[in-house]
Structure 1
Amino acid sequence: MRRRLVLALALLACAGSTQAARESVLKQIDLPHDYYWRELYLPQLTTGPDFASFTPAGDALIYSMGGSLWQQRIDGDTATELTHASRAYDNQPDVARNGRSVVFTRYDGNAIELWRLDLTTGREQALTSGGAVNVEPRLSPDGRQIAWVSTQGTGHFNLFIADIDAAGLHHARPLLGERKTTLDRYYYSAVDHAINPSWSPDGKTIFYVSNPEIAWGTGDLWSVPVDDPAKRSKVLSEETSWNARPELNPDGKRLLYTSYHGRQWQQFWLTTPTGAAPLPLTFGDFDRRNARWSSDGKRIVYVDNQAGNTALRVLTALGGATATVTPVHRQYKTPHARLVLDIVDEHGERTPARVAVLGHDDRAYAPDDAWMHGEDGFDRTLQSSETHYFHCAPPCALDVPVGAVNIWVQHGFAYAPWRKTVNVAAGPGVAVRATLVPQPLPAAFGQWISADLHIHMNYGGHYRNTPANLARQARAEDLDIAYDLVVNKEERIPDIASFRTAADPASLPHSLVLHGQEFHTSFWGHLGLLNLGDHFITPDFSAYRHTAMASPYPHNGVIADLAHAQGGLVGYVHPFDTLPDPAHDAVLSNELPADVINGKVDYIEVIGFSDHKATTQVWYRLLNLGFHLPTGSGTDAMANYASLRGPVGLNRVFLDTAGKRDAAAAMAALKAGHGFASNGPMLGLLLDEAKPGDTIAAGKHRYRVALRSPVAVQHLELVHNGKVVKTFALGGDRHTFDSEGDIDLDGGWLLLRAWNDGGDPQVLDIYPYATTNPVWLGDHVRAPSARNDAAWFADWLTRTIDAASARDDYNTAEEKRLTLDYLHQAREAYRALASEPTSIESTRGTR
């Protein structure tokens, strides 16, 4: 049975009694780091165009936009919708040379299959089935064969080929087969892939991208004779990023492809079929992608993000004249009407917000100029596809199919979600007004500002973001501080030009944009560097195997010292997807315990792009040892992605700044632990008059707790020294709760947490979770389990020392000695703690 979003939202009242089964989008793909290939490679739902193909005469285009295929003359302003499937989105059209049909991809929430559209009759025909991911269909020049990329049978991206006729596909088969690399890859599978196929004009050769013995990037440009696949050959060595898409000119002399080589953005380059030294064809600080030649080789159609959203351009190859193909008028296959949405707050003031609109056809809709974003996972028993949403600066106008339309509006965590089903009739359409209702925490618990400490403004996504737009995204999410962490993606650092030590001048009065840095080393763990007062730290990464920066030195402790020297704060970001196991993990190289005991770490993202419960278990052990390590929170949102786990501000820390709204006050509150982290529930904790981050004496205290949540909460608990000491019985809709009482506590720490067993469709994360920072009970008091916790970290560091010792790519013996000395010293410090009685035990002995 089809389940629409309205049903999912209706079931939220039952969230406390059932566990949602959230799963990844296109879970059948067996590759690491899905947040890269899903965005950088797979077709996405965008309001602007994504892929285009010339018709044979070269005077018109067939392109994908908004989940449908459209046809438009290059010199015209009217687009005609060719396909419109319920519960599905179409993309990646390839027009047959005879102009009679077009092949394309169709995503239905479960798989991506190949389809064909007869342009004369309008008949649609499925070409593949079976639930694999099939993308990049390309017809041979004579129309008798088709090449594409499929995960069929393996879960990996492999190059397939088949014969094609009026009946469909015949003799479908992998063209190359699979091979494993001898290298230890991190971001890419050990199995090579073959992607981005295109045909030579004579139909004898396929050009593609593959990565045999390539550690970083999606690989080199290759060619393969269709009739003799064993004679494949490398055309050009090039560090590509999923969408190089080599295209041979119809004259067979020039090979066009997309590259960011030596730059921060992707532009067009030209080489030859034999791999002559490449030269750039286009320039600019934005991305040009998905290029196709016209049949006469005189023009190139492509998609760029120069204006932020995707746009369709046609470039004259000789001379560079560029025309923009804009669908001013749209002729839909089914009746549509205009929906105008206005959003106001409790004062009647227009307020930007996040909006999801779902038509009766189970398809998502947005204004023509809005950035459409899609979730990275969903519960298939509640939804037919992932949630898609956009940010609306009201009023927002969009075309939707006539009929029932479901609308969901959310503005941060301190407002209740607004939902409504409206009936849109043919004709002038309908105007809808959403009034947001606040549900703040009581003022006694603090004066809050919210901050997402881990955002990447640009990271190779479909869109091109700017500080001004990032501020608008934050404002729509009711986020006070958006911290852009400038970082590399492979060879480039897209946001390096935006880095500055002061607040960005594009900030809005209630949405401050700051720029920090993420230090990348997947060996030691990633660091967030905030409040850098002087300069960006280079190199921005270390321990990148098989490169000139392969050495594990500088380790994270060295980088922390460099950041602190310029007034920065250092945090461990998206720490753990699973709980580290010193006894059984194959490799354990994360440096967190060493850096904490050496005073290098100012915060940890307990709630971030990782598993919050796994990270919490590590955090509790550190707190048990008396380390005043506060939680921060960061979404790790790639804010220019079309497909991501949640928007900016999904994971945020609420900081009690006593009413101040500047960066200095926020950083002081973060370091002091004055606040809580959350992806939805808002928490208040008072112990007598003490707030999180404060220290009071052990003994009997009066507690007061508060919960305000946009989603139903299953568990609300007080945790003392890692153990639950009070479970609150939540009733009603589980969104609001207040309680107070007395509690007798030994030393150590106490915090309040809220969490759910499984996912919730209204929280675009793996599951709802929130935690306050601890209130400390006595000075320098360690918990009863401290000796065991210290021994656990000592064992952890033994494994880290083993991993660091095994590396053979230090630049010098001195680098290795410094690294191992640092780790040994930290391990001995933990061993010393493991041999000491806990402070609570000592106190008990004198009572």
Structure 2
Amino acid sequence: MRRRLVIALTLLACAGTAQAARESVLKQVDLPHNYYWRELYIPQLTTGPDFASFTPDGDTLVYSMGGSLWRQRIDGDTAIELTHAPRAYDNQPEVARDGRSVVFTRHDGNGIELWRIDLATGREHALTSGGAVNVEPRLSPDGRQLAWVSTQGTGHFNLFIADIDANGLHHARPLLGERKTALDRYYYSAYDHAINPSWSPDGKALYYVSNPEIAWGTGDLWSVPVADPGKRSKLLSEETSWNAHPELNPDGRRLLYTSYHGRQWQQLWLTTSTGAAPLPLTFGEFDRRNARWSPDGKRIVYVDNQAGNTTLRVVTTLGGATTTVTPTHRQYKAPYARLVLDIVDEHGERTPARVAVLGNDGRAYAPDDAWMHADDGFDRSLQSAETHYFHCAPPCALDVPAGAVKLWVQHGFAYAPWRKTVNASAGHDTPVRAALVPQPLPAAFGHWISADLHIHMNYGGHYRNTPAHLAQQARAEDLDLAYDLVVNKEERIPDIASFRTDADPASLPRSLVLHGQEYHTSFWGHLGLLNLGDHYITPDFSAYRHTAMASPYPHNGVIADLAHAQGGLVGYVHPFDTLPDPAHDAVLSNELPADVINGKVDYIEVIGFSDHKATAQVWYRLLNLGFHLPTGSGTDAMANYASLRGPVGLNRVFLDTAGKRDAASAMAALKAGHGFASNGPLLGLLLDNAKPGDSVAPGKHHYRVALRSPVAVEHLELVHNGNVVKAFALGGDHHAFDAEGEIELDGGWLLLRAWNEGGDPQVLDIYPYATTNPVWLGDHVRAPSAPGDAAWFADWLTRTIEAASARDDYNTAEEKRATLDYLNQAREAYRAMTGHPTSTEPSRGTR
């Protein structure tokens, strides 16, 4: 898992090939793994509610929804829009104790600032500036101080406090300051954070979450006297997940917070101001979060995802009577129109698809019940904010501001993108029909089904996904096979109840849902385990420092054997963000070379949540050594996220199954290398009559290539043994190309690849890239560079052995011995390929 960025909705009508500089959405935040903290902590644009705050009478709520703030009585059905900023989204309202104003967050595509609105006049003004990320504003009971979390000055999430009056904030300052841990944290910054603040009823203390000397999770529940921050104290140890939001009841005794506490889903829990043993207040196989007490302490407002999307509810603390706050009627601040979108394929049949809609206010829109998704980055020279989109099962109706509306419809890779700007008239329905045009590869190159081999159905996000909904997501993306890899999210495994060894019965005829496993060890590299025929492999992770599962054993070779014993396929997933450098990398512990030479690996995600070009360079070296290692492809999409690295099917492998659509045929084609991987371009390659995965004799051959792409392609190349032997000059719009000719080839392998130098705003990935599997030139023929490649992998394994030897947390001496023996045997096998098997010093082969 790693990086990314997005499409310019401001250029929805263009299909240009400009070099895009994709950056993360909130690049000023200096924390690793932004796809986690952004989804789990940062407020998101959702069509349903996200955060809510009671007014002083306790009968009305101010809440965020669709990028605006809304006011609604709990017993009413009409929501009144309070804010609507062009090209910005508002969230996290905090109603003042006198009910006259609301402090909130506003994300304008750069930073997130704090704003305040006067409810009587509607006047808005900014409380912070400077482009930091400012979130979670909380007013003191007397209204004279504001606490919040900011990255100002450090890039880390720190607790801030300031005085506040009619003129704004004064004497803003960090309350606790920076502290660096002595632990090695993988998912979290080396610097402690302080998040989720709330005030004690007397205004003297703040409750919050922090992680001093905590390796996993966002930390424990703490309190701190505002007047003496040096006397902070821990209340309760928990493995929280960004949104515990501890808050004392107005009586000062019961502390409400959100936790999964040994379960798979987050619910509401109660402890005390002194951290007594917690007990659950609510139950269910879905998430409840963002909870707040009513002013009298008798009710709690929260957001849940029981129905899939987010829903606002109010529950009585005594009795549990629950009211759903539904905005049946909406009063907008500006004139609105109704857009009705229909989508049809080449046969005139209605077809689900991915849709992006941009109003004339520069904001994204979706139907009220749609899951709004956001890409995880964008090119700031092309757009003011990241792309938002939803999946439409037509017809789809949505409210949009009256005026020009830009639409983008995409249905997989084999259809051309559809774009149009329409004028929506206030108070009227505007029908729009999107007719999709296919652009398939010629049938001579194969009969394809497409598969995303790496999806996480649920992973702690805003929504609650199901196999039936995942199948609908796949269908909208024209994806034939969606492989849900069940995996841990720290302590929990959210989709463990869905794991099964056969196809999910919720599958659709054109979109099959399967369940596999991702094995987590960030020391050795992550594995995808497909087609497991008997059971889920536990434990699901190893080498988790500072836990009972800290031992690096079992290493990946052991797990591969366990998977193969069930008839499974084993792949290395999201392998490399940069090309490994055995000579200079500070640590190199990835086990891939050892597992490949020992026959443990069935595929590698050349195109996945990593850098495709860097991964391909490693792949080429393995191919040069004669290893018939096919490429797979997987998005690593957290499919229940509002802000996701996706959508599902973004990275996929096209498998030539001769028209068969069952899982067994797909897995056979994957293992045989019959196909290509892509994030957009479709590729066809024939060498004489041989397709990728086949073998031909070295010599003179007739080649035929084809390209069909929804985006413009800059480079189309034949690659022989890692070197470009034919670069094709693409004409026209660079979307389609056909060529054939003669080529003389000695042994090794040949493949076809398409790629761009930089990002394209139409591909929600770092850059367009596609590659076929190789056609093999002879049986087990190594490339001329094989000795140097073998030396490079031997050097790599020398560094891996160093890293494995340095670990002091094996459970037994036998675990360490078995691990080092396995790695040493693999290194000696590579050294044998160099022609210098007795070498004692690692060679420094370069290429």
TM bucket normalised to smaller: over 0.9
What residue identity is the alignment partner of 1:441?
L
1: distance between equivalents of 2:7 and 2:235?
48
Task: Name the residue aligned to 1:840.
Answer: none
The correspondence for 1:8, drawn from 11, 14, 31, is 11
SS in 2 for 1:12: coil
TM-aligned CA deviation for residue 10 of structure 1: 4.2
Q: Distance in 1 between matches of 2:384 and 2:32?
A: 24
- Taking the aligned partners of 1:568 and 1:633, their CA distance within structure 2 comes to 17
Q: Aligned-pair distance for 1:770? A: 0.3
> Using a 3 Å threshold, how does the CA distance of structure 1 residues 132 and 6 change in structure 2: closer, same or farther?
closer
1:336-372, Cα deviation, whole Å (9 max, x unpaired): 0100000000000000000000000000000000000
Q: Which residue of 1 aligns with 2:50?
A: 50
Shift of 1:12: 2.7
User: Following TM superposition, by how much is the alpha carbon of 1:429 offset from its aligned partner in structure 2, in angstroms?
Assistant: 2.4
Q: Call closer, same or farther: CA 1:486–1:664 in 2, change over 3 Å.
A: same
For residues 7 and 441 of structure 2, what CA distance do their matches in structure 1 show?
32
**Percent identity over paired residues:** 88
How far off its partner does 1:314 sit?
0.1
Match of 2:422?
422
* Residue in 1 that maps onto 2:575: 575
Name the SS for the 2:12 alignment partner: helix
C-alpha displacement at 1:427, in angstroms?
Answer: 2.3
Aligned residue number for residue 367 of structure 1: 367
The Cα offsets for residues 27-79 of structure 1, whole Å up to 9 and x where unpaired, read as 11010000100000000000000000000000000000000000000000000
Q: Specify the alignment match of 1:482 in structure 2.
A: 482
1:593 aligns with 2:593: yes
SS at match of 2:621: helix
- Residues 284-295 of structure 1: pairs in structure 2 closer than 5 A: 284-295=284-295
What is aligned with 2:176? 176
Displacement after TM superposition at 1:836 (Å): 7.2
Q: 1:600 corresponds to which letter in structure 2?
A: K
- C-alpha distance after superposition, 1:407-427 (max 9, x if no partner): 000000000000000000112
Write the mapping of 1:46-195 to structure 2, written as runs, cut at 5 A. Answer: 46-195=46-195
SS at match of 1:330: strand
Secondary structure in 2 matching 1:453: strand
* TM-superposition CA deviations, 1:414-455 (whole Å, max 9, x none): 000000000001122200000000000000000000000000
Contact 2:638 2:646 in 1 (8 A): no
* 1:727 matched to 2:730: no
CA distance, structure 1, for counterparts of residue 772 and residue 836 of structure 2: 29
> What is the one-letter code of the residue matched to 1:201?
P
Structure 2 residue matching 1:617: 3-state secondary structure = helix
C-alpha distance in structure 2 between counterparts of 1:588 and 1:645, whole Å: 26
Deviation of 1:646 (Å):
2.1
Q: Distance in 2 between the 1:7 and 1:796 partners?
A: 45
Q: Once the 2 structures are TM-superposed, how far is the Cα of residue 761 of structure 1 from its aligned partner?
A: 1.0
Contact 1:454 1:633 in 2 (8 A): yes
1:9 Cα offset (Å): 3.4
* Residue 633 (structure 1) aligns with: 633
How much is the aligned-residue C-alpha RMSD, in angstroms?
Answer: 1.0
SS of match in other structure, 2:440? coil
1:471 aligns with 2:478: no
- 2:455 partner letter: I
For 2:336 and 2:247, locate their aligned partners in 1 and report how far apart those are by CA, in whole Å.
37
The CA distance in 1 between the partners of 2:245 and 2:10, in whole Å, is 40
Question: Is it true that 1:314 corresponds to 2:317 in the alignment?
Answer: no
User: Residue 6 of structure 1: CA displacement?
Assistant: 5.5
Aligned-partner SS, 2:655: strand
| Matched-pair contact (CA < 8 Å) for 1:5–1:358 | no
In the TM superposition, 1:273-284 aligns within 5 A as 273-284=273-284
Shift of 1:644: 1.4
* 1:643 partnered with 2:639: no
Distance 1:436 1:836, change over 3 A: farther
Residues 604-654 of structure 1 deviation map (CA, whole Å, 9 limit, x = unaligned): 000000000110010000000000000000000000000112200000000
Counterpart residue type for residue 676 of structure 2: F
2:667 aligned with 1:667, yes or no?
A: yes
Q: TM-score, normalised by structure 1?
A: 0.98
Aligned ranges 1:694-705 → 2 under 5 Å: 694-705=694-705
Amino acid at match of 2:314: V
- In structure 2, what is the Cα distance between the partners aligned to 1:191 and 1:690? 55
| Partner SS, residue 497 of structure 1 | helix
1:199 aligned partner, one-letter code: W
Q: Helix, strand or coil for the counterpart of 1:256?
A: strand
Written as runs of structure 1 = structure 2, the 5 A alignment for 1:405-416 is 405-416=405-416
- What pairs with 1:207-218 in structure 2 (closer than 5 Å)? 207-218=207-218
SS in 1 for 2:15: helix
CA distance in 1, matches of 2:539, 2:427: 59
Aligned to 2:840: none
Paired AA for residue 468 in structure 1: A
8 Å contact from structure 2 (residues 7, 761) kept in 1: no
Q: Is the 8 A contact 2:50 2:64 kept in 1?
A: yes
Q: State whether residues 254 and 270 of structure 1, in contact with CA within 8 Å, keep that contact through their aligned partners in structure 2.
A: yes
2: distance between equivalents of 1:288 and 1:391?
A: 24
Q: Distance in 1 between matches of 2:36 and 2:10?
A: 31
- Distance, in Å, in 2 between the alignment partners of 1:19 and 1:785 is 33
**Aligned-partner Cα distance in 1 for 2:818–2:654:** 38
**Which amino acid is the alignment partner of residue 35 of structure 2?**
Y
Verify: 1:523 aligned to 2:526, yes or no. no
Match of 2:235 in 1: 235
Partners of 1:4 and 1:362 within 8 A in 2: no
1:345 corresponds in structure 2 to 345
Assess if the C-alpha contact under 8 Å between 1:5 and 1:406 holds in 2.
no
For the residues of structure 2 that align with 1:675 and 1:359, how far apart are their CA atoms?
A: 40
Q: Secondary structure at the match of 1:654?
A: strand
Shift of residue 21, structure 1, vs aligned partner:
1.0
Find the residue that maps to 2:408 and give its secondary structure.
strand
Look up the SS of the partner of 1:364 in the other structure. coil
Cα displacement (A) at 1:497:
0.2
| Change beyond 3 A, Cα 1:661–1:836 | farther
User: Residue type matched to 2:656 in 1?
Assistant: D
- Change beyond 3 A, Cα 1:5–1:781: closer
Residue 683 of structure 2 aligns with which residue? 683
Q: Equivalent residue of 1:804, what SS?
A: helix
How far apart, in 1, do the equivalents of 2:834 and 2:632 lie? 28
Cα distance between partner residues in 2 of 1:5 and 1:276: 51
SS of 1:623's equivalent in the other structure is helix
**Contact 1:787/1:836 (8 A) holds in 2:** no
Name the SS for the 2:72 alignment partner. strand
Cα deviations across residues 807-842 of structure 1 (Å, max 9, x unaligned)? Answer: 0000000000000000000000000001179xxxxx
- Once the two structures are superposed, residues 434-482 of structure 1 have per-residue CA deviations (whole angstroms, 9 ceiling, x without a partner) of 0000000000000000000000000000000000000000000000000
Output the CA distance in 2 between the equivalents of 1:336 and 1:429: 10
CA distance in 1, matches of 2:10, 2:351: 27
- Per-residue Cα deviation, 1:736-770 (whole angstroms, up to 9, x for no partner): 00000000001000000000111111100111000
- How far the C-alpha of 1:7 sits from its partner, in A, is 4.3
Q: Which residue of 2 aligns with 1:758?
A: 758
In 1, distance between residues paired with 2:781 and 2:261?
54
Whole-angstrom distance in 2 between the partners of 1:378 and 1:467: 30
Which residue identity lines up with residue 332 of structure 1 in the other structure? Y
Structure 2 distance, partners of 1:705, 1:646, is 29
CA distance in 2 between counterparts of 1:557 and 1:615 reads 20
Shift of 1:5: 4.6
Give the match's secondary structure for 1:676.
Answer: strand
Q: Give, in whole Å, the separation in 2 of the partners of 1:532 and 1:398.
A: 42
1:702-728 alpha-carbon deviations (Å, 9 max, x no partner) = 000000000000110000000000000
What's the CA shift string for 1:364-414, capped at 9, x where partnerless?
000000000000011111111100000000000000000000000000000
> Larger relative contact order (C-alpha < 8 A, sep ≥ 6)?
2
Tell me the residue number matched to 1:845. Answer: none
Cα deviation code 1:114-171 (max 9, x no counterpart): 0000011100010000000000000001000000000000000000000000000000
Partner residue, 2:222 = 222
Conservation of the 8 A alpha-carbon contact between 1:483 and 1:515? yes
In the other structure, the counterpart of 2:773 is 773
Query: In structure 1, what is the Cα distance between the partners aligned to 2:517 and 2:756?
Result: 32
Measured in 2, the distance between the counterparts of 1:758 and 1:376 equals 16
Aligned counterpart, 2:514: 514
- What does residue 393 of structure 2 align with? 393
Q: Any conservation in 2 of the 1:520–1:527 contact (CA below 8 Å)?
A: yes
Distance 1:377 1:148 in 2: 25
When structure 1 is superposed on structure 2, of 366-375 and 637-646 the one drifting more is 637-646
Supply the AA of the counterpart residue of 2:85: A
